[in-house]
Structure 1
Amino acid sequence: MNALMQILFTVGLGAAIGGYTNSLAIKMLFRPYEPKYIGKFRIPFTPGLIPRRRAELAEQMGKMVVDHLLTKDAIEAKLMQPALKEKIVMFVQVELMKWFESEKSVKEVMDKLGIDYLSVDNQLNRFIQQTIQRYFYTNSHMKVGEIIPSEWQENVEKKIPEVAEYILLKAQTYFASEEGKQRLTKMANDFLLNKGMLGGFAQMLLGNVDLGEKLQPELMKFLMHDGTRQTVTSVLMKEYENVKQWDMKKVEEYVQADAIASTISSFVKKNVTAPLWDKQLNELVASYKEPIKEKIPVLVDKVLQYAHRHIHEVLGALQVEQLVKEQVDSFPTARLEEMLLGITRKELKMITYLGALLGGAIGLVQGIVLLLIS
């Protein structure tokens, strides 16, 4: 009986020592978190192994992620998987449809996205102003005829006879009216008055004759004459040719760049941006919704192909190894311990149990040896 108790004692003691030493060794991987001192003397094995080698651990984890986990080949293979493309297409389509079916105005959507529509208006105005000013400055040495496209010039030349016809037609309409007749009378009387004695003598000879009534038919004949139409057309054509020889500096003397920019900005704001901000998003994209939805798979495929071709540059720009190192290095030691134990807790317990088992086996052997010796 004493022999059995002796063996059980040595087995239990060995198991306790083996289990405890393994458990202590595991704890010493992490604990203590900080170095401990007796006076100025640092106690050995403090801090624990992982806190002491924290920087090396962070560096090695960064290398492990880059070299064995987030590798270029692994990411390229993942990008080319049809299942991934299908998931991305479905996600983009669902999210886009939420926006496309929204009854909110463009202004409300922009507010939700943190975009100030007034700022967009101001930026657009500045863009128009800078573009017009830059255009005049860059082309200041060029002539109007060099800037205007030849097709436009041909169209203007074709329209000049019509403009001449329109001017003469408006003149005929005006001078055929009572107002036009009175204007002719006044012009004729003013003309004679300005001629002094000769004008007075002419008025005396004419007596009470209405000069407007006499001049009106003759003026109408003049306005309807083919020669008059040809003359007006010729004058307009000559002036048009003169304008084509102007350089942009001269054009700016008549029409200021700032005035042009202001006019264009006002037109855009009144007819484009102001109605756009108040328009409902679903109404705005109604005609584009289906075509965009159909193009999403193609766009996603192009994005994935681009990512596949440039994955090396992307990974280099992200500096994954450095990112992982910085993150691990910034973790509190307690959190790092929790993470590692969360992964290896079961295996570490088995190591503790194995230590107890080996200690118990050694105690059993020691008990038997002591019995044999005694």
Structure 2
Amino acid sequence: MKRLTIVLTILFMAFIGALIGGVTNHLAIKMLFRPHEPKFIGKTRLPFTPGLIPKRRSELAVQLGKTVTNYLLTPDLFRRKLMTPVMEERVEKFVQDKMNKYILQSDKTLNDWLEIAGAADLPEQVEDKMLTLIDRQLTEMKLKVTTGTVEEVVPLRWQQQVEERIPLASDFLLQRAEQYIDSTEGRETFQKLIDDFLNSKGTFGGMLNMFFGDSDSLVGKIQREALRFAGAPGTKELLDKLIWKEWRNIQQQPMEKLTAEFDFDSVFHSVRKYALDQLALRDRLDHSLEHYWPKGAEWTADNITPQIVKFVFKQAELQLEQSLQKLKLDEMVKEQVDTFPVAVLEDLVLGISRREFKMITVLGAVLGGAIGIIQGIIAITLNGI
């Protein structure tokens, strides 16, 4: 009977110790989060309300933000994970694929791109600008051409070329004249001129015909004299002088007089029409970019995209630390934690550590039970049971 009393006493003390240890630990864990809000009796706030984490949530948020920026999302981490050759190659391929799909190899025409950019009327604006420029240039040309004398308006180089060709022109004229005089057509012309002349003189003409013989003989003589005259050096000098004199007269003529009958309006209209027809801007823009640049995708992949991506990565790496500071990740984390409902924060922590918290409760019960057994043994020994 005595032994039974000892065993029951020890078990009872162990049970009470385990109960106290388990309940105490369980309450301690709960008090980390509960209650979520402060509790009051009248105007007096009950102690230990709210729970530890809700009460210190602001400090927890600040510390968590510092931990994230100082140990988790650091510049070195971004450099190791993002600023790598592999990532650069992936970004380059991504950018090139998107450029090919949406721009370089797209079915959209240049007119479509202009419409997307809000510049659908650009072809008309270009044509208007071009016609305005052409009209201004033509007007200036007309004013320049019709103002002053030939000598003042015609370029000096042109005038020199004309003067260099005057001797050649006189040689050409005399050569052609000799060929004409010595030809059958020339002989017929002389024959007709002599016959018309003699017939117009009546009796005197008949006397001349009797004196010189028949007209055929007279034609031959005149033809030979004409050939001699055309081939004489003096004739060449005379013709040169005449041409030079006429050229000097032309040089002093006002251009306005020489161009008075010229239809500038028709010429200007033709120039404008030709320019518009050749430009055909609206039709030219009715093709895709690939139509005008079939190797655009290949060229940009070799020359443009790698340089752009490399530049972006270099600038990003140079500005990474400053950019992270400007992002203020610690403040962002703090703001997000501050906005978390306490229940969500509790579920987050307990969802990760629920098993460990249960083990802490069990451990408290075990320790309490062990302490109860020790207390029971001490109490029995002191009581001398």
Match of 2:346 in 1: 337
CA separation of 1:93/1:12 partners in 2, compared to 1, >3 Å: closer, same or farther? farther
Unaligned ranges ≥5, structure 1: 130-143, 145-156, 166-221, 237-265
Measured after TM superposition, the shift of residue 323 of structure 1 is: 1.5
Counterpart CA distance in 2 for 1:20 and 1:338 is: 21
Match of 2:116 in 1: 117
- Work out which of the residue numbers 258, 269, 293 in structure 1 matches 2:301: 293
1:310 partner SS: helix
Counterpart CA distance in 2 for 1:24 and 1:159 is: 112
Query: 2:17·2:368 contact (CA, 8 Å) conserved in 1?
Result: yes
1:42 aligns with 2:45: yes
The superposition leaves residues 319-352 of structure 1 with CA deviations (integer Å, 9 ceiling, x where unpaired) of: 2122111121122222222222233333333322
TM-score, normalised relative to structure 1: 0.53
Counterpart CA distance in 2 for 1:323 and 1:228 is: 92
Aligned partner letter, 1:22: N
TM-score, normalised relative to structure 2: 0.52
1:60 aligns with 2:63: yes
1:318 aligns with 2:327: yes
Counterpart CA distance in 1 for 2:7 and 2:57 is: 49
- Work out which of the residue numbers 360, 366, 370 in structure 1 matches 2:369: 360
Query: 2:32·2:51 contact (CA, 8 Å) conserved in 1?
Result: yes
Q: What does 1:240-251 align with in structure 2 at a 5 Å threshold? A: none
CA separation of 1:94/1:103 partners in 2, compared to 1, >3 Å: closer, same or farther? closer
1:35 partner SS: coil
Measured after TM superposition, the shift of residue 13 of structure 1 is: 2.7
The superposition leaves residues 145-186 of structure 1 with CA deviations (integer Å, 9 ceiling, x where unpaired) of: xxxxxxxxxxxx989969xx9xxxxxxxxxxxxxxxxxxxxx
Query: 2:104·2:289 contact (CA, 8 Å) conserved in 1?
Result: yes
Aligned length: 250
CA separation of 1:367/1:308 partners in 2, compared to 1, >3 Å: closer, same or farther? same
Query: 2:110·2:289 contact (CA, 8 Å) conserved in 1?
Result: no
Unaligned ranges ≥5, structure 2: 129-139, 141-153, 163-242, 257-275
Match of 2:75 in 1: 72
Query: 1:30·1:48 contact (CA, 8 Å) conserved in 2?
Result: yes
1:8 aligns with 2:11: yes
Counterpart CA distance in 2 for 1:344 and 1:106 is: 60
Query: 1:3·1:371 contact (CA, 8 Å) conserved in 2?
Result: yes
Aligned partner letter, 2:308: L
Could you say which structure has the larger radius of gyration? Answer: 2
Match of 1:84 in 2: 87
Aligned partner letter, 1:294: D
CA separation of 1:360/1:290 partners in 2, compared to 1, >3 Å: closer, same or farther? farther
Match of 2:355 in 1: 346
Measured after TM superposition, the shift of residue 315 of structure 1 is: 1.2
Provide the aligned C-alpha RMSD in A.
4.4
Match of 2:137 in 1: none
